[in-house]
Amino acid sequence: MRPTIPVARVPIDLGDRSYDILIGTDLLDHPTSFDDLPRARDAVIVTNDVVGPLFSERLSVTLRSRYDRVSTISLPDGESHKDLATLNTIFDSLLERGADRQTTLFALGGGVIGDITGFAAACYMRGVPYVQVPTTLLSQVDSSVGGKTAVNHPLGKNMIGVFNQPLRVITDLTALQTLPQRELIAGLAEVIKYGPIADEAFLDWIEAHLEDLLRRDVGALTYAIKRSCEIKASVVGVDERESGLRAILNFGHTFGHAIEAGLGFGKWLHGEAVGCGMVMAADLSTRLGLVDPASARRLTRVIERAGLPIAGPALGVARYLELMRLDKKAEAGAIRFVVLSGPGRADVRTAPDELVAEVITAHTR
């Protein structure tokens, strides 16, 4: 009899693209984590040169009990390599090793690895299966739900990609124990996000347990990841292709993307930019008269306590506006902002340039 281990499970209900998120400790080492995946000759782990040395041998050993051939593609680490050129090196490697249409890809790493591997899986021979094995807090609470895959373009982040759901997400909490503190904090930005946009009680919980999360308490992390995935799943379940509601998940991201693009991708971590972006978006919500200033101050305080930046780089108002007009949510040149519209409630709308300029001026230095 094979050993069983305690696993939290979040089912993602998307019809014939439904899948489960498994959350637990040492899941990488347990063959049961991989039960019921479709048969294939080849498993290919796609990882990077930082995460690979830590976990890919463990994953390989477990996968060898299910696949005839297990190999690893290691990409250079970092957002700056999330581009078409790196994507193409995955295709090169898959073709060179004779990967076929059943070959299953395992994305072992953070959001960059998940996004680029999911995109590669969508396009290789017009689609092969893939499994997410997220190793950063940010990817565990964000990219593991929603099926968004992409690479960056010099003119915009995540501009090139497709929607492609994984077969399964295997969230091994052990990976968080070796995560640099800066990355853990960046991941907390996306955890915090789910409170103000969808669940005021979750924001209360985060406020009360922020210290536990920062010192990587396994129980607190498990709850934070599970609840984040549940909230994201409930939103994505209603709007898989981001035609409406799903856009609220981008709270903080319109300002945040401008920061990332303006500085050059990779300078700030995505979560850091989103943290600061949420401060700006909450302030915009206040200036639009949608929420009282106390709500914005409360959120700003949580973001600051987490160790996230609450002021953006001084790129200039014009540059911020220019970069935000390139946002994918923009329509016919009008920037669409995710704003708070009440406790645990968000909405998408446009805003006068003058008001946006005030926000930028108030929160950059």
Which residue reads 């607190």 in tokens? 220
Neighbours of 272 (CB within 10 A): 22
210-246: string of b/e by CB count within 10 Å (b at 16+)?
A: bebbbeeeeebbbbbbbbbbbbbbebbbeeeebeebb
339 by Cβ neighbours in 10 Å (0-12 / 13-18 / 19+) ranks as: buried
d(C-alpha 51, C-alpha 77), whole Å: 8
270 is catalytic: yes
d(C-alpha 132, C-alpha 291), whole Å: 37
Q: How far is the CB of 52 from a copy of itself (least distance, A)?
A: 24
Going from the C-alpha of 337 to that of each of 218, 248, 302, the distances in angstroms are: 35, 9, 21
d(C-alpha 362, C-alpha 365), whole Å: 8
The smaller minimum CB distance to a copy of itself, of residues 13 and 92, is found at 92
Residues 6 or more apart in contact with residue 237 via CB below 8 angstroms: 12, 13, 14
253 is catalytic: yes
- Cα 297 to its chain centre, rounded Å, is 25
Q: How far is the CB of 336 from a copy of itself (least distance, A)?
A: 10
The smaller minimum CB distance to a copy of itself, of residues 1 and 155, is found at 155
Beta pairing partners, 364: 312
2 is catalytic: no
Task: Select which of 190, 230, 260, 272 is catalytic.
Answer: 190
Task: Select which of 30, 82, 227, 253 is catalytic.
Answer: 253
Task: Select which of 30, 81, 82, 148 is catalytic.
Answer: 148
Q: How far is the CB of 88 from a copy of itself (least distance, A)?
A: 6
Task: Select which of 2, 39, 126, 241 is catalytic.
Answer: 126
126 is catalytic: yes
Task: Select which of 30, 227, 257, 328 is catalytic.
Answer: 257
Task: Select which of 246, 287, 328, 363 is catalytic.
Answer: 246
Task: Select which of 157, 232, 287, 328 is catalytic.
Answer: 232
Q: How far is the CB of 318 from a copy of itself (least distance, A)?
A: 16
Which segments within 143-202 are labelled E, that is strand? 148-153, 156-163, 168-172
Q: How far is the CB of 101 from a copy of itself (least distance, A)?
A: 6
- Cα 279 to its chain centre, rounded Å, is 19
Q: How far is the CB of 154 from a copy of itself (least distance, A)?
A: 8
246 is catalytic: yes
257 is catalytic: yes
Q: How far is the CB of 81 from a copy of itself (least distance, A)?
A: 16
Interface residues toward a copy of itself, by CB under 8 A: 41, 84, 88, 91-92, 95-96, 98, 100-102, 122-127, 148, 150, 153, 155-156, 158-163, 241-242, 325-326, 328, 330-333
Four-point Cα dihedral 18, 19, 20, 21, nearest 10:
-110
68 by Cβ neighbours in 10 Å (0-12 / 13-18 / 19+) ranks as: exposed
d(C-alpha 139, C-alpha 120), whole Å: 17
The smaller minimum CB distance to a copy of itself, of residues 49 and 331, is found at 331
The residues that are catalytic are 126, 148, 190, 232, 242, 246, 250, 253, 257, 270
